[in-house]
Amino acid sequence: MSIKKEELLKQIDRALRIEEEMVPQVSKNISAAARFIEKDTKKRAEIESALRQLADESGGHAKLLLDLKKKILEGKKNVY
């Protein structure tokens, strides 16, 4: 199965939007819910730590996607 350059770039842009918009929003909502529901401060701290890790990993994913997009844009290949 192959995919044209234009479609691949669209999919990369879609993935970037998810990383940049959805992950922070979901993290914010989970964090707020944890503060409201979880009374144990140690468990809340664990949740917050996991959310920070998620945000860090999301940033890494975005960088990889941007690097991939740049490589594809600079390349001459039209089908992948």
The model's confidence at residue 56, banded by pLDDT at 50, 70 and 90, is confident
Domain count, the chain: 1
Residue 80 lies in a domain: no
What size, in residues, is the chain? Answer: 80
The model's confidence at residue 76, banded by pLDDT at 50, 70 and 90, is very high
Residue 77 lies in a domain: no
The mean pLDDT value for 39-58 works out to 87
* Separation of alpha carbons 7 and 39, rounded Å: 47
Residue 66 lies in a domain: yes
* CB 17, CB 69: distance < 8 Å: no
Domain coverage including residue 61 = 5-72
Q: CB under 8 Å to 20, separation ≥6 — which residues? A: 62
- Three-class SS of residue 4? strand
Residue 14 lies in a domain: yes
Residue 79 lies in a domain: no
Residue 78 lies in a domain: no
pLDDT on residue 29: 87
